[in-house]
Structure 1
């Protein structure tokens, strides 16, 4: 048999079995199938992302509106979620935040991300120069610390809250009561020796401290120091 006849017989056999030359060799010169073939390409492992915020930032903060319309509350959670609200303006913004050094990146839901500079310490938070005071940290939240004068005509005329978590209520006739104040979110509890604790709702709106008693009575104080 001649070489030409042998070649013709090989080609006829390949055609009869339905196998092509590329299938027999494999694409790119590798044998077909899994045995000894090209190993599958594994995607690089994804690095876990963390939105954990610094402990100094986590919590609730209160700051005045630059136009004097209500007050702004900023609430940061450790996992990076935040809430920014101004009840007087009817604005509430939620989203996520990340921190790198002195830069904080806000990603509001439905809005464009933006960055700001921040610093916190001593119960004060500064974001791009705007100052917020801590409004949640147990006794003596820094947003409440100071002297207040009652403008609502109620019995107590002055209120003084100290950083150590103590308070003094006094009227012009010389009566008064002192004790401890415990802040939890938007509620505070006044605890005085020999008296039942009183829990009030509270908010600071454009420099006015508003206390709402359980019976609905409202007392308003302006800061005097």
Structure 2
């Protein structure tokens, strides 16, 4: 029997197939990353699984409780001046002590009974707080409200004049009324209205008098429009 010559057939290798696929993709302008999406599915439509979208971020609210918003006054633990704390509804705060020459500003957030202070240029820290009846407690330190219209709690009480100017005694009640008594000039009574660092004394038959005021280490200072200063110490 005569032997037939079988024609040689060359088998294509896997490497050559891969090279042909890549060449085809490059020729059509499609890259491998475009052809296969996340998890092996094609991106976008075409019946494949759509790409996973990150969940929307919830905005962080800095709104402070209404009971905390306002201006508060408290004594310095070492007896050097007084501290004022001012909180705004959007979370901004200001802490100052004029005698020490210190002013700190930043933002605050509240979660339950914990308040987180983030001072500008400083490290955040947390404290516990509670407010009610015109009193604010932060880590046990007590501050009295100093801005609430008539009868700010920081002013409520009896005061004795130590400067010898105008009035000998001053009594301010929680209902927003006051009584001034001077042995030489008699007495006067009326209403007191507080707005920030100013207070207005309104007495029947007399022109209202607006004074600047501050409480420094237990001493109440009233500055009249003519610049005269009266100082009072708390007596009750």
TM-score (norm 1): 0.87
Q: Deviations over 1:24-61 (max 9, x none)?
A: 77786545775445523311111121111111111100
Judge which range, 136-145 or 170-179, deviates more.
170-179
Query: 1:209, 1:62 → 2: CA distance?
Result: 12
Task: Flag structure 1 segments of 5+ consecutive residues without an equivalent.
Answer: none
Give the paired residue count: 225
Query: 1:4, 1:178 → 2: CA distance?
Result: 103
The residue correspondences of 1:102-113 to structure 2 (distance < 5 A) are: 102-113=113-124
Q: Deviations over 1:5-39 (max 9, x none)?
A: 99999999889768788877778654577544552
Q: Deviations over 1:123-178 (max 9, x none)?
A: 11111111100000000000000011111111211100000000011112460110
Query: 1:3, 1:68 → 2: CA distance?
Result: 87
Is 1:197 aligned to 2:208, yes or no? yes
Greater Rg, structure 1 or structure 2?
Answer: 2
The residue correspondences of 1:75-224 to structure 2 (distance < 5 A) are: 75-173=86-184, 175-224=186-235
Task: Flag structure 2 segments of 5+ consecutive residues without an equivalent.
Answer: 1-11
Q: Deviations over 1:63-101 (max 9, x none)?
A: 000111100000111111111000110101111111111
**CA 1:36 to 1:195, structure 2 compared with 1: closer, same or farther past 3 Å?**
same
Query: 1:11, 1:161 → 2: CA distance?
Result: 89
Judge which range, 126-135 or 171-180, deviates more.
171-180
TM-score (norm 2): 0.83
